[in-house]
Structure 1
Amino acid sequence: MATLHAPFSSFIPHRHITTQNYDQYSDHQQLLSLIDRCYDLKQVKRIHAYLLRFGHLFFDPYSASRLVTVCAFSPFSSLDYARKVFDQIPQPNVFTWNTLIRAYASSRKPNQSLLIFSKMRHQCFDPPNKYTYPFAIKAASELSALREGRVFHGMVIKTSLGSDIFILNSLIHFYAACGELDEAFKVFVKIPKRDVVSWNSMITAYAQADYPEKALELFRRMELDKVKPNDVTMVGVLSACAKNLDLDFGRWVHSYIERNEIDMDLILTNSMLDMYTKCRSLEEAKRIFDKMHEPDSVSWTTMIVGYAKSGDFDAARNVFDMMPNRDIAAWNALISAYEQSGHPKEALSLFHELQVAATAKPDQLTLVSVLSACSQLGAVDLGGWIHIYIKKQGLKLNCHLTTSLIDMYSKCGDMDKALEVFQSMDQKDVYVWSAMIAGLAMHGCGRAAVELFFQMQEAKVKPNAVTFTNLLCACSHAGLVEEGRLYFNQMLTVYGVAPEAKHYACMVDILGRAGLLEEAVELIEKMPISPGASVWGALLGACRIHGDVELAEKACKHLLELEPRNHGAYVLLSNIYAKLGKWDAVSRMRKLMRNAGIKKEPGCSSIEVNGMVHEFLVGDNSHPISKKIYSKLDEIVSRLKSIGYVPKKDHLLQNVEEEDVKEHALYLHSEKLAIAFGLISTDYPTPVRIVKNLRICGDCHSVAKLISQLYNREILLRDRYRFHHFKDGHCSCMDYW
């Protein structure tokens, strides 16, 4: 018999094939065999050409189906070519239809699978069979096409295929993929004799849908039903353990796998790694990882994420550096870990390494993480560069990326750009609208945020809990008490969104800032849920503004009961005592902090100049041009005093008796150093953009207003709570912050 390595002429017959000699022609079986043994698409096309030339063979259903199958499922498959072959078959049989439906169901175009199924019902002499429906249902699963899948379910019942185990298992997977777990379970319980695939489908569905307890309960029932689990079962069970953070049961599952000699393939091993890392048992994870012969990218990335989430960034970085081939998932894991753990500078540094290495291309997840890091640092230059990069690379601006861009521009002080991005989107989801409302809120544009909320409703986008948090923050920063009350009271009754602790905290903040402390306390007492730390923190912050010591002590007591190591609670109460000159009480609070080993978060101000972020602490002299900065600061102070500036010494939260020392201490605040550096390093009309990790103090606020007037420079300062736009001696907050 000729082989595929022989010349084509050696296995293509030379004599003409006629109807009379077709049945006697022995090379037909040889040709079918050769179709199965093709090693590239070129060979397939040559055989296809031969079949077309001698049309009798092409009319044969076996040769035609065999050719479609090779085109669709071989290592060198071409679904487009398979479709062309299929379209040339005058009367495809059921097997051929099923082949194409199956191929598209597993492709990037599962919708084509549904269209072909529809054509099959009208053009095929035979009806869809028990092999057709699992493929069509799979396509519906890929598309989360609930209506179409339900139609298939009904057709299955009408055609008496409702007891076929393969179809029923496909339906379980379909309903789970559409989020209809109750429907999936109804199918599951009606299966007369469930096989391991049935159990696996339901266990995996519960595990992936964040119902780990149900997944584990089903696994226990599976054992009672005497169905032997396999490696797929254990992947689902380990996933449930990971989500449930159930280390003890996870260890039991590990031993169960070993006792029952279940094959520990790569997928199952990675699932075990994931379980141990998420349950914070990194030693056990490392033992498994070290025993792996060929860990893949998922294995390495799982270890990186595990170490990073435990706070051991050195170990995470070591694993990353040892990784033989770093794909974008590994880069994303570490960049995202840095960004989410409050290490934005490290995230941006790693992004720079990614660009230099050029071994992987940033994807949307990379850019979202980097934009978030830019937001934290106020790095608008880099954030703007990423925006340009997105356009140049032709990346689609989906809602997730759009939300990140709006958030970045808003937090970096460029509201014009944030609005430009927002308005450029035709289709805006609830998170895009909410991000824009948040941006307006932090810039004190309360009325504009309320107006945008009206536009959101006109666009038929339903607000969610995030929307209302942002809207209430906007009311708080702008002093819109009546509007805040109105939207808070309408949340459940009008919009069907139940107020959560964060919404109560916003409402307490609205009332507290306006001096309505009694009403704020009354709201807390009537809360249907237990007041959380954010609620008591909002009340404590209001007490600081209005100097209510007695209520502040009560709020602080409740806050520390919930979060004993909340340094902010100690600092806020201490600041209230300091402003009232109660230095004994200040000393007492500091002693309590020392005894508890709690340290005050140091004030830090950062400013981006020419793409580089510079950070300053109070009294900082570590900057390379520190002498120039302090010289500029002396100049600023001299000019301020010449126009009558008097330092607000009551904002100094230390017991300092010497007046000149008090003044000097105020001059050393980090935001003043950052402003001085900004004036040295940038020219008019570039705004001086500063990000501070804490609330700006009253003296720095006054100084920034005066500097904006004296030096004719706009200063944009973002503190922990909001933005301050200083221009011509005024602040956008109207001194209400």
Structure 2
Amino acid sequence: MIRRQTNDKTPNFHQQSKLWRECTTFRKLRQVHASMIINGFNTNRFNLREIIYVTALVIPSAISYAHQVFDHITQPDLFMWNTMLRGSAQSPNPRKAVFLYTQMEKKDFRPDRYTFPFVLKACTKLGWVNVGFGVHGKIMKHGFEDNTFARNTLIYFHANVGHIEIASALFDSLGTKQVVAWSALTAGYARRGDLGMARKVFDEMPEKDLISWNVMITAYAKRGEMESARVLFDQVPKRDVVTWNAMIAGYVNGGLHKEALDMFEEMTSLGERPDEVTMLSLVTACTDSGDLDVGEKIHRSVLVLGGGELSILLGNALIDMYAKCGNIDKAIKIFRSMKEKVVTTWNSIIGGLAFHGHSEEAIRIFKEMCSLKLRPNDISFVGVLVACSHAGRVQEGREYFRLMKDKYNVEPNLRHYGCMVDLLGRAGLLNEAFEFVNKMDIKPNAIIWRTLLGSCRVHNNVELGKCANEELLKLRWGESGDYVLLSNIYASQGEYDGAERLRRVMDDKGVRKAAASSLVDADEETLMHFLFNSKPQSNKKRGLIR
């Protein structure tokens, strides 16, 4: 039998008590929770509702604690269930909202008009199309399909997961269309890349809220149509931090770093407070442009914004920025100053050190990480293997490659294999490098063979160079650098006939030599780009931000 739960007619209960205003920190929350336990945790339903509200919605990042509290409530009511669903749906792990709903069904709690929209929002964030369709069926079963809140969320779900026809049909079936429905349909068209229809729906809206303006500005910015985005930006009646962030991110992604900083300065001059998203975009701009002076300015702004402390995301980004801009000491200083570090933080500093030739320090920090019982991941091993390669620590590199799979259950990918080939090739162990490639569990790509070819060039091995070149040409025949590398190997050994034959092959195939580039340096940058998925940095400051 389904149990009907009431809300005791207290939808605004949190406005009736000072507790939710006082619990602004995790420490205060724990004190209040302890007091409730001493006085009989499950005896006061009003206080139970309040602590669930505070932990799930008021205090940032307290949702995990909310789940722990909720699990100890013997008879949660529908308000508590819905509050937990809402908090979980907007958390970094929205799948918990779906799992909560399944528990709710097993306990025979009858949902209300607020229950399903929270679950649908979780399905939207997760991209769980089939589960979302199931929730749509539940909405129809319980008679909530005509509820405005539920219908708007259905439009939002179907528009965002790609079922724009269903979303459009639901929209057309509405009598009075609220701005939420208009915005959801606009966002759906924008998400699928149909900016023409998105703009059509946007222009037809009888009234526009800030969300609808932000949807269109973000859509143009993501497509790189910054002129169109700027036109709307200048027209929006009232902006929020999302509006500014959309523009700043759009300029950064388009490589328009000066415009991004100009937008930030305009933002702050008008009194708009930037958030973490703003600062991450600006740090990325400084990283890409290589402008260390501006990067330090942004760093100071980040510290002011965070009260002197760095979040994990911003700390990682700043470590990456300083490393790529060549200030390794500052990167290490930030790393050491961070009170909370996760694996990605360690990866940022290990990779930054390894990439810039500070191999011994990178290896030392990797060992420190392991000694703290932190589990390295695939990116961690890319960093330490590159460090071993640059330091010439062949045996240590072999050992880390073995431990990666045997101890940490990390399956090697092409980046790890590339590191090992580079390690062996740099050390002149060309036969072992070729044998290693032949035994790879993954088909070697062009980067692997080009790395081998470059090693053969360095160590003047003509025969193995020819083998690597043959394999490389099977994958790509039009890259002039591949031919030139082998030609240089021939020439270094005095085999000028072979070099000349190769030049004729290039002419016959119409392959032209790229001008003005260092083959050794280019190979190094190509490999680093492959390993770290980052843009090779130039000593010159490109697209400088003033």
The correspondence for 1:204, drawn from 111, 121, 124, is 121
1:276 aligns with 2:185: no
Residue type matched to 1:283 in 2? G
Q: 1:152 to 1:542 in 2, by over 3 A?
A: same
1:138 aligns with 2:53: yes
1:366 aligns with 2:278: yes
The correspondence for 2:166, drawn from 252, 256, 261, is 252
For 1:6, the equivalent position in structure 2 comes to none
Residue type matched to 1:411 in 2? K
Larger Rg: 1
Identity of aligned residues (%): 27
Q: Distance in 1 between matches of 2:27 and 2:177?
A: 35
For 2:313, the equivalent position in structure 1 comes to 400
Q: How big is the shift at 1:313? A: 3.1
Residue type matched to 2:73 in 1? M
Q: 1:304 to 1:151 in 2, by over 3 A?
A: closer
Residue type matched to 2:482 in 1? L
For 1:536, the equivalent position in structure 2 comes to 446
In terms of mean alpha carbon deviation, does 332-341 or 276-285 score higher? 332-341
For 2:482, the equivalent position in structure 1 comes to 573
The equivalences for 1:617-632 within 5 A come to none
For 1:490, the equivalent position in structure 2 comes to 403
For 1:217, the equivalent position in structure 2 comes to 133
Q: How big is the shift at 1:423? A: 2.4
Q: How big is the shift at 1:451? A: 0.5
For 2:491, the equivalent position in structure 1 comes to none
Q: 1:329 to 1:556 in 2, by over 3 A?
A: farther
Residue type matched to 2:247 in 1? L
Residue type matched to 2:52 in 1? I
Residue type matched to 1:206 in 2? C
1:298 aligns with 2:211: yes
Q: Distance in 2 between matches of 1:125 and 1:361?
A: 40
Q: Distance in 1 between matches of 2:213 and 2:409?
A: 44
Q: How big is the shift at 1:528? A: 4.9
Q: How big is the shift at 1:280? A: 0.9
The equivalences for 1:101-500 within 5 A come to 103-104=20-21, 108=24, 116=32, 119=35, 127-129=43-45, 133-142=48-57, 143-146=61-64, 149-156=67-74, 161=75, 164-173=77-86, 177=91, 180=96, 183-192=99-108, 193-208=110-125, 210-222=126-138, 225=141, 227-229=143-145, 230-233=147-150, 236-237=153-154, 240-241=157-158, 244=161, 246=162, 249-259=163-173, 261=174, 264-354=177-267, 357-391=269-303, 394-500=307-413
In terms of mean alpha carbon deviation, does 419-428 or 573-582 score higher? 573-582
Residue type matched to 2:135 in 1? F
Q: Distance in 2 between matches of 1:521 and 1:263?
A: 70
Q: Distance in 1 between matches of 2:484 and 2:210?
A: 50
1:583 aligns with 2:492: no
Q: Tell me, what secondary structure is at the counterpart of 2:449?
A: helix
Q: Distance in 2 between matches of 1:253 and 1:722?
A: 45
Q: Distance in 2 between matches of 1:199 and 1:71?
A: 22
Q: How big is the shift at 1:379? A: 0.8
**Unpaired segments of 5 or more residues in structure 2?**
1-9, 458-464, 489-498, 524-533, 540-546
Q: Distance in 1 between matches of 2:41 and 2:133?
A: 46
Contact 2:377 2:410 in 1 (8 A): yes
CA deviations over 1:246-304 (Å, ceiling 9, x no partner):
2xx12322212322x17643334333333222211111111122123443443333223
TM-score normalised according to structure 1 size:
0.58
Residue type matched to 1:538 in 2? I
Q: 1:269 to 1:486 in 2, by over 3 A?
A: farther
CA deviations over 1:107-135 (Å, ceiling 9, x no partner):
74587567556545655899323x65444
Contact 1:374 1:383 in 2 (8 A): yes
Contact 1:110 1:139 in 2 (8 A): no
CA deviations over 1:639-664 (Å, ceiling 9, x no partner):
xxxxxxxxxxxxxx46xxxxxxxxxx
Residue type matched to 2:138 in 1? M
Residue type matched to 1:382 in 2? V
Q: 1:190 to 1:286 in 2, by over 3 A?
A: same
Q: 1:227 to 1:527 in 2, by over 3 A?
A: farther
Q: Tell me, what secondary structure is at the counterpart of 1:495?
A: coil
Q: 1:465 to 1:196 in 2, by over 3 A?
A: farther
Q: Distance in 1 between matches of 2:212 and 2:522?
A: 48
Residue type matched to 2:449 in 1? L
Residue type matched to 1:137 in 2? I
For 2:462, the equivalent position in structure 1 comes to none
| Larger relative contact order (CA 8 Å, sep ≥ 6) | 2
Q: How big is the shift at 1:365? A: 2.5
In terms of mean alpha carbon deviation, does 341-350 or 539-548 score higher? 341-350
Q: Distance in 2 between matches of 1:69 and 1:189?
A: 22
In terms of mean alpha carbon deviation, does 512-521 or 460-469 score higher? 512-521
Q: How big is the shift at 1:491? A: 1.9
Q: 1:280 to 1:509 in 2, by over 3 A?
A: farther
The equivalences for 1:496-645 within 5 A come to 496-514=409-427, 516=429, 519-520=432-433, 523=436, 527-528=440-441, 535-547=445-457, 548-558=465-475, 570-576=479-485, 579=488, 580=499, 582-587=502-507
Q: Distance in 2 between matches of 1:540 and 1:243?
A: 42
Contact 1:481 1:514 in 2 (8 A): yes
Q: How big is the shift at 1:437? A: 0.9
Q: How big is the shift at 1:384? A: 1.9
Aligned residues: 493
Q: 1:575 to 1:346 in 2, by over 3 A?
A: farther
CA deviations over 1:47-93 (Å, ceiling 9, x no partner):
xxxxxxxxxxxxxxxxxxxxx999973xxxxx9xx64xxxxxxxxxx
Q: How big is the shift at 1:433? A: 1.8
Contact 2:320 2:352 in 1 (8 A): yes
Q: 1:503 to 1:427 in 2, by over 3 A?
A: same
CA deviations over 1:486-535 (Å, ceiling 9, x no partner):
2222223323434344333433443454455665565556555666xxx4
Q: Tell me, what secondary structure is at the counterpart of 1:314?
A: helix
**Unpaired segments of 5 or more residues in structure 1?**
1-67, 74-78, 84-99, 561-568, 594-652, 655-664, 672-693, 699-718, 725-737
Contact 2:252 2:260 in 1 (8 A): yes
Q: 1:481 to 1:104 in 2, by over 3 A?
A: same
Q: Distance in 2 between matches of 1:71 and 1:166?
A: 11
Contact 1:475 1:484 in 2 (8 A): yes
Q: 1:155 to 1:387 in 2, by over 3 A?
A: closer
Q: 1:516 to 1:363 in 2, by over 3 A?
A: same
Contact 2:155 2:170 in 1 (8 A): no
